[in-house]
Amino acid sequence: MARSFMQNMGTESHEPWSSILDSMLTGSIRTQSSNSLVTDSAAGATAFACGLKTHNGAIAVDTNGTPCGTILEAAKNAGYATGLVTTSRITHATPASFAAHVVDRDMEDLIAMHMISKNATKHTKVDLMFGGGMCRFLPQSNDNSCRNDDVDVWQAAKDSGVTTLTRRSEFDLLSQTNQSMLPLIGLFAHSHMAYTIDRDSTSQPSLSEMTQTALNLLDDTSDKGFFLMVEGARIDMAGHDNDPAAHVHDIIEYWRTVQKVHQFVHSNPDTLVVSTSDHETGGLALGIDPEYTWHPRVLNQVTKSAEQVCSYLFRTQKQDVTEVIEDHVFPKYLGIDNHTQAELDVVVDALQVKGGDGRHKACKHAIGGIVSKRARVGWSTGGHTGADVGLYAYGNQMHKIKGNMENSHLGTLLMQYLDVSPSQVTKALANTATRQLAFFHSPHHDHD
């Protein structure tokens, strides 16, 4: 979709257009977990991190709940610098699976503590972390906390010598210093960072900016090299919301990120970059029967994500909601100046759904559905699918990253490339606490 969108934004829509990933395609990944043909991000990321299959919801533990050493932890023990960059909460399933070990992905309070912990050599296991999720690092006595206890993880990080950042201005200074700032954690949002379409560039860095800074800092840290995991997390979340406009803009930002990494690898030919996905989300299709067409320019008129539109509607419900939708949401946020009564009704009905989470989800799907229908974009689900996902590689030994393979096999190949083994890490983790006493388990993850 994003490729076709970019092609049709040009003056000659029939001219071919390619993303940076198109030149890197080497194969595909099978995504099933140990207990389901349709994986979640926890099991999917654990396969990449540990090189083994586990059940949905598990964060870097095997099917028995035993911690498995990850490629990041093994790389750190071997002398590599390490980093995690994401646009989700840093404690969310994918980044967590590289640096934490819990039996349930919702144990994010414990995940936060694991992520700032030290390894067997008394070094912080993750040298650099950029993302969102500040609320998981603050004690529940703080108004901005979402923890279930009074542990101040942010202060604990500071006390252990970690440089901490929360403001864009502090982030910008990182490119102006010659001093080593690692270990470093920068969290720029209470929960997930903003969608690209919504992002205020004065308060949050983009994924590509965070990645470029991470590359620069990690490259200067260790003579042996570094391991960096970068996640365009909000692509998945837009898929869950069936929000095509937010989806396409976050994919394009991910391409910008890959372009920066590609340039780094080109200048440092002893480096390998691999790109893939935990899973597919949404069951996206271009073209809705019976028409053989789709209209990408519809997406170009949208200025806000469905998430932001719905948040705005919930804040203004004391007003005449119909008037707000007709006079503000449709023309200013969705670029629609000829809405139908049916489109108005579907949004109003969604706002009447009982329950906060259910109402918000219904609203997002209503907004995304209106844009999708006009663009002729189809979705088969608001969840994940069992489809294979693309595998892309560039750089040193990229010829080994090819063909169709299980996600766990890719994890093993990456460990072999770095010449690291997780076995010693796994032994050292034997007594690691993998259960959080107080937490809310969600049976259905809206963004997983």
Query: Residue 242's pLDDT is what?
Result: 98
Decide: 282 and 170 in contact? Cβ < 8 Å: no
pLDDT over 90 at 118, yes or no: no
How many other C-beta atoms can be found within 10 angstroms of the C-beta atom of residue 399? Answer: 8
Look-up: residue for tokens 């919930």?
Answer: 314
Give per-residue pLDDT as tens, 397-435: 999 999 999 999 999 999 999 999 999 999 999 999 999
Look-up: residue for tokens 């997780």?
Answer: 422
Bridge partners of 44, per DSSP, are none
Query: Residue 15's pLDDT is what?
Result: 72
Find the Cα–Cα–Cα–Cα dihedral 369, 372, 373, 378, rounded to 10°: -100
Which of these, 228, 234, 204, lies nearest to 92 by C-alpha position?
Answer: 234
Higher pLDDT, 184 or 119: 184
The lowest-confidence range among 71-80, 135-144, 318-327, 398-407 is 318-327
Residue 425 CA to residue 137 CA, distance in Å, equals 25
Contacts of 65 (CB under 8 A, 6+ apart): 58, 103, 434
3-state secondary structure the chain: CHHHHHHHCCCCCCCCCCCHHHHHEEEEEECCCCCCCCCCHHHHHHHHHHCCCCCCCCECECCCCCECCCHHHHHHHCCCEEEEEEEEECCCHHHHHHHCCECCCCCHHHHHHHHCCECCCCCECCCEEEEECHHHHCCCCCCCCCCCCCCCHHHHHHHCCCEEECCHHHHHHHHHCCCCCCCEEEECCCCCCCCCCCCCCCCCCCHHHHHHHHHHHHHCCCCCCEEEEEECHHHHHHHHCCCHHHHHHHHHHHHHHHHHHHHHHHHCCCCEEEECCCCEECCCEECCCCCCCCCCHHHHCCCCCHHHHHHHHHHCCCCCHHHHHHHHHHHHHCCCCCCCHHHHHHHHHHCCCCCHHHHHHHHHHHHHHHHHHHHCEECCCCCEECCCEEEEEEECCHHHCCEEEEHHHHHHHHHHHHCCCCHHHHHHCCCCCCCCCCCCCCCCCCCC
Residue 187 CA to residue 204 CA, distance in Å, equals 9
Instruction: Work out the mean pLDDT of the chain and round it to a whole number.
Output: 94
Active site residues: 41
% residues pLDDT > 70 (the chain):
95
Give the predicted TM-score (pTM) of the model: 0.96
Q: How confident is the model at residue 396 (pLDDT cuts 50, 70, 90)?
A: very high
CA angle 16, 273, 410 (to 5 degrees): 105
Longest pairwise C-alpha distance within the chain: 65
Average pLDDT on 354-383 reads 95
Beta strands across the sheet bearing 25-30: 272-275, 389-395, 25-30, 403-406
Residue type, 125: K
Give per-residue pLDDT as tens, 383-393: 999 999 999 99
